[in-house]
Structure 1
Amino acid sequence: MTDQPEVVIVRWPGQGPASTRPAELLAAYHLRTQAEKGAAVVDVDALPDRYRTEIRDPRAAFADDTVLIALSGDTAVGCVVLTAPADGRSEIKRLWTDPAFRGRGIASALIGAALAHAAGNGVGTVRLSVWEWRTDAIALYERLGFTVAESWETRDRLFCMERTV
């Protein structure tokens, strides 16, 4: 028996505790990514504008997209964004699990929920881009059926991957 609450995946906004917001998770994601790029910043105010916008007003930033939150009890411990379908494709963005909750299958559950949502909305292909140094994430995506695809990204060091839903 464990004293760890079960982790559930909910759609945001609209499900889960009223206080559940992706802003804190998005802030952690962007701050960590900036540091990994070698451009660490001390706080959200120093992030590029587009990232600050997501953190300050995720409802507006992702108005057309699907945001899924992993909850442990009333605590948000992970998130993922699935972009609105376009030409039969959606893209996974901003996958993040709180480091204190890693190793529990949360990222896999978030991706699984995103894939199920995409399939339920007629999406044929889900794609994503991932920084080349995130080898654990790349391995996870490969285990979940994603394969390397021709790049649609202009930024160096990003792998592009996709899978049929």
Structure 2
Amino acid sequence: MTDQGEVHVVRWPDRDASTEGGPAGLLTAYHLRTQAEKGEAVGDAAELPDRYRAEVLDPRTSFVDDVVLMALSGDTAVGCLVVTAPVGGRCEVKRLWTDPAFRGRGVASTLVDAALAQAAESGAHTVRLSVWKWRAPAIALYERLGFAVVESWDERDQLVCMERAV
């Protein structure tokens, strides 16, 4: 049984951490849940849209220029987040996901804090993200962490765009 105590964040892939399978399982859960919330539920990863299926099947290639952060409890991956490489002084946070069994324990906050540190280390001055309007708990989390709603840079309906300085 996994110790559900302290959670720590590592970069993936990380030779020092036992993160077999990497973020694939977490990304699968994220995308399946998102598709269902959009009213486009699919049965498994094989039915995901091509773009998202690629992330699940080969995250190393999909995020080759980005930093993938994983929250671990013991050697079990319980959360993930992707920080894009900076462009024009901005990084983007995407794919924040916490295993439902570990929610309410600060995993998401810890991942976002690590993402902000990563962005600063990479020379970014701003971190941005987009989140679906119906994910009110996520929006509240981001606001508690200093993000503010800004004008959308994405044309998708019901997407909330947020930013904060590093």
The normalised TM-score by structure 2 is 0.96
Q: What does residue 12 of structure 1 align with? A: 12
Q: What does residue 94 of structure 2 align with? A: 93
Q: What does residue 128 of structure 1 align with? A: 129
CA–CA distance in structure 2, aligned partners of residues 18 and 140 of structure 1: 26
Task: Work out whether 1:48 is the aligned partner of 2:36.
Answer: no
Aligned residues: 163
In structure 1, list runs of 5 or more residues that go unmatched: none
Deviation at 1:4, TM superposition (A): 2.9
CA–CA distance in structure 1, aligned partners of residues 6 and 138 of structure 2: 23
CA–CA distance in structure 1, aligned partners of residues 23 and 153 of structure 2: 27
Matches within 5 A, 1:3-82: 4-14=4-14, 15-82=16-83
In structure 2, list runs of 5 or more residues that go unmatched: none
- 1:151 is paired with a residue whose SS is coil
CA–CA distance in structure 1, aligned partners of residues 4 and 27 of structure 2: 23
Deviation at 1:20, TM superposition (A): 4.8
- 1:77 is paired with a residue whose SS is strand
CA–CA distance in structure 2, aligned partners of residues 91 and 20 of structure 1: 24
Q: Decide whether the 8 Å contact of 2:86 with 2:124 is kept in 1.
A: yes
CA–CA distance in structure 2, aligned partners of residues 66 and 83 of structure 1: 6
CA–CA distance in structure 1, aligned partners of residues 97 and 4 of structure 2: 19
Task: Work out whether 1:117 is the aligned partner of 2:113.
Answer: no
CA–CA distance in structure 2, aligned partners of residues 45 and 125 of structure 1: 35
Deviation at 1:60, TM superposition (A): 0.2
Show structure 1 runs of 4+ deviating over 6 A: none
CA–CA distance in structure 2, aligned partners of residues 57 and 12 of structure 1: 13
Deviation at 1:5, TM superposition (A): 2.9
Q: What does residue 156 of structure 2 align with? A: 155
**Identity percentage over the alignment?**
69
Q: Decide whether the 8 Å contact of 1:66 with 1:84 is kept in 2.
A: yes
Deviation at 1:6, TM superposition (A): 1.2
CA–CA distance in structure 2, aligned partners of residues 159 and 132 of structure 1: 6
Q: Decide whether the 8 Å contact of 2:19 with 2:75 is kept in 1.
A: no
